[in-house]
Structure 1
Amino acid sequence: MSMPMLASVALSAALFAATAAHAQVKVGVVSSSSGPIAAVGVPQKNTVPLLPKQVGKTTIEYIPLDDASDPTASVAAIKKLIGEHKVDAIIGPSGSPNAMGVIQFAAEAGVPLLAPVGTAAVVLPMNDQKKWIFKTTQNDDLIAAALVGHMKKAGVKTVGFIGTADPYGENWQKVFSSLAAPAGIKLVSAESFQRRDTSLTAQGLKTVAARPDAVLIAAPGSSAVLPQTTLFDQGYKGQIYQTHGAALDDFLKLGGKKVEGTILAASGLLVLDEMPAEDPVRKVAADYVAGYEKLHATKPATFGANVYDAGLLLQAAIPAALKAGQPGTAAFRSGLRDAIEQTRELPGTQGVYTMTAQDHSGFDERGRVLITVKGGRWSLLK
């Protein structure tokens, strides 16, 4: 080989090495930081500055967009991130209906999407499209099993259900019903409502008339408050249960004394100081809370933690993905998807993640604790 050719080969190798050393992963983040579910989206948007910025010599750029809580705008944002920004992965959107509406676009583009939403319908049942989707909240059945277990121990025989008329509420009714019946618990009423509704008088009256021992409310964010305050005002005295969708401080502020005694299952982030020191989640969650408080002078809601965990999952997966291809290529995105699916025993703020081809949420019992509202504060149920 001639000297000029050798020099050319050496130069090409050096340029490739330099490119690899300064490769940049682009991650889109779609949150509902305005609109009806801003209580969910704002802490998610505020978490973006805390996400990992570098893995080895590979930098990570985050491109945040607001969908204003509108599922149609979520689709537009996802298309923009894929088409214009050529992102390697997406975190978001905030709402369950929003996430359900973008699955096909992420899958068709071959871009891994980490959904920080409540409904398990984004990853179940698994199919060729949903294999591109991962979920950083506990699946409904994991949370429901804890609630049903408490109900059975407390002697609850009949339950009324009030849920949002969307994938979140619908899947919760399905999952809860399937677990309650074998436990000897009968669903005696089922009501639904829209997140934007300002009155639930009719639903509340029908629920009270059914005289259930307890009521389960399945609604995300601030929409979880109105059903419970309505039942309180109508004189209902039974136990109220909530899903992990109510796990935010705004629930306490908006509900006040009317939500006292509520029982829910959620991550230990709400009761971090009461969690055992040896819990693998505690340190990760404490670091996140400290970073968020330093940046925003307020505590984060668990919804922000779901985005933080998405960043941890990507950080852990990037080294393996780089062996498949360079950022910006289909090979890298496919490798990233494969690597996330191979996640094993990764502690996050919400639990410990172990993904499989059939389980793209990856939580076990370490991802939930039973919590109650006591004295206007979250308290570990003992």
Structure 2
Amino acid sequence: MSSTLHKLVVFLVFAAFLMPASVQAAEQDTLRIGAVASASGPASFLGQPEKQTMIMIVKKLNAGGGLDGKPVELFFYDDETDVNKCVLAVQKLVRKDKVDAIIGPTTSGNTLAVTRIASSAGIPLLSMASSEKIVNPQDPWVFKVTPSDSHAVGCILEHAKQQGYKRIAIITVSDGFGQSGRDFLQKLIPDFGMEIVADEVYGPKDTDMTAQLTSIKEQNPDAIICWGTNPGPAVIAKNRMQLGIETPLYMSHGVASKKFIELAGDAAEGLMLPAGRLIVADQIADDNPQKPVLMMYKNVYEETFKSPVSTFGGHAYDAIGLLTAATSLSGGDTSPQALRDNLEKVDGFIGTAGVFHLSPEDHNGLDASAFVMVEIVNGDWKVME
């Protein structure tokens, strides 16, 4: 993306928040954006801020004249963290609503269940889930806006290596996100000169993991890595404390939300995880190119919803930002084909997750630099040195 174009995209996204509501969108063709998120159900702590962010930005865009003069219409469905409802929602977006692009779903499993629907219909889909399997192998119509789990695994293992840890125990959830993380943990741990001494799995609806943690404790590992999204990781953090396990515990980026700290309570203290810079925006150096975007989104979100900013709401911000960039590159053509083709040309878009460098070969556009290691200290996030 050229410097001029990047400034235009940043201007458009900032203007969406700052434009007075009295300005009306022009009566022209409408950009129809479909969206599916888990605004309720077990993954609601992910999907609710995504929903709120999309509605907020689209409202502001339309108040400021739309996108390249086109009103933006958002067709939103809550999949309730249910894969069958997710499939039905995407089918409705394609067949009934006839959208130009789809943002979502929230979770990896739901995303993997619907990519073929969007692809077969020739509609670009920008997933807000993490699994690398979403874009590898690559589908021409499927993109994702979250950093990949392989990069998160690498970030954890690099930190563990620096601490001299050799014997690693892993405990992963048996859903799409957990299975993908487990695959990369199994693959990369030996590459870092470490060994897996325990490999435990738990179900998404399990409410007690003392059996798995007791088995892990018997192996006396140097560190434990938990891979999942709430509520499971919070249960594991509490069970660890109840069992008196003092082994360092790493979490995945799937819990980078204040909701996790609320659920885990005192058991969250001292836990470590890779996370995007959004949740520690005020700790980021002023010369970091993401800083203005992070602070702008954080301040507007928290002022609007009176709740802490969430990494996951940031994914929705990034998805709309990438569509904005693709629209600018296409000269205002918002047909599905034009959006797809021009998403591959977005190079240098600064989002909340990182600086995106999309290409025909890379439909994610992020690398390991999207993450920083954070620790939970006194009930809040702290960047680790």
Q: Decide: shared fold, TM above 0.5.
A: yes
Query: Which residue of the partner structure matches residue 29 of structure 1?
Result: 35
Matches of 1:29 and 1:290 in 2, distance apart? Answer: 24
Query: Which residue of the partner structure matches residue 225 of structure 2?
Result: 216
What is the SS of the residue equivalent to 1:280? Answer: coil
Paired letter, 2:341? D
5 Å-filtered alignment, 1:123-162, equals: 123-126=135-138, 130-162=139-171
Matches of 1:365 and 1:174 in 2, distance apart? Answer: 18
Query: Which residue of the partner structure matches residue 44 of structure 1?
Result: 50
**Match of residue 109, structure 2, among 97, 119, 132:** 97
**Match of residue 118, structure 2, among 86, 95, 106:** 106
1:282 equivalent to 2:285? Answer: no
1:84 equivalent to 2:90? Answer: no
Matches of 2:68 and 2:191 in 1, distance apart? Answer: 50
Query: Which residue of the partner structure matches residue 199 of structure 2?
Result: 190
What is the SS of the residue equivalent to 1:226? Answer: helix
Larger radius of gyration: 1
What is the SS of the residue equivalent to 1:63? Answer: strand
Q: Deviations over 1:50-92 (max 9, x none)?
A: 3253222122211111111100000000011111110000111
Matches of 1:112 and 1:61 in 2, distance apart? Answer: 16
1:273 equivalent to 2:282? Answer: yes
Superposed displacement of residue 170, structure 1 = 1.1
Superposed displacement of residue 296, structure 1 = 0.9
Structure 1 residue ranges (4+ consecutive) displaced by more than 6 angstroms after TM superposition: none
Q: 1:67 to 1:143 in 2, by over 3 A?
A: same
Preserved CA contact (<8 Å) 1:372 1:380? yes
What is the SS of the residue equivalent to 2:129? Answer: coil
Query: Which residue of the partner structure matches residue 257 of structure 2?
Result: 248
Matches of 2:190 and 2:239 in 1, distance apart? Answer: 27
Q: Which moved more, 1:72-81 or 1:41-50?
A: 41-50
5 Å-filtered alignment, 1:165-180, equals: 165-180=174-189
Superposed displacement of residue 222, structure 1 = 3.2
Superposed displacement of residue 177, structure 1 = 2.3
Paired letter, 1:37? A
What is the SS of the residue equivalent to 2:41? Answer: coil
Q: Percentage identity across aligned positions?
A: 30
Preserved CA contact (<8 Å) 1:285 1:350? no
Query: Which residue of the partner structure matches residue 16 of structure 2?
Result: none
**Match of residue 233, structure 1, among 221, 224, 242:** 242
Paired letter, 1:351? G
Superposed displacement of residue 352, structure 1 = 0.5
Matches of 1:249 and 1:280 in 2, distance apart? Answer: 25
Preserved CA contact (<8 Å) 1:121 1:167? no
Matches of 1:230 and 1:301 in 2, distance apart? Answer: 25
Query: Which residue of the partner structure matches residue 80 of structure 2?
Result: 68
Preserved CA contact (<8 Å) 1:33 1:66? yes
Which structure 2 segments of 5+ residues have no match? 1-25
Provide the alpha-carbon RMSD of the alignment: 1.5
Paired letter, 1:270? I
Paired letter, 2:211? A
Q: 1:29 to 1:362 in 2, by over 3 A?
A: same
TM-score, scaled to structure 1:
0.89
What is the SS of the residue equivalent to 1:184? Answer: coil
Superposed displacement of residue 228, structure 1 = 2.0
Matches of 1:309 and 1:30 in 2, distance apart? Answer: 15
Superposed displacement of residue 365, structure 1 = 3.8
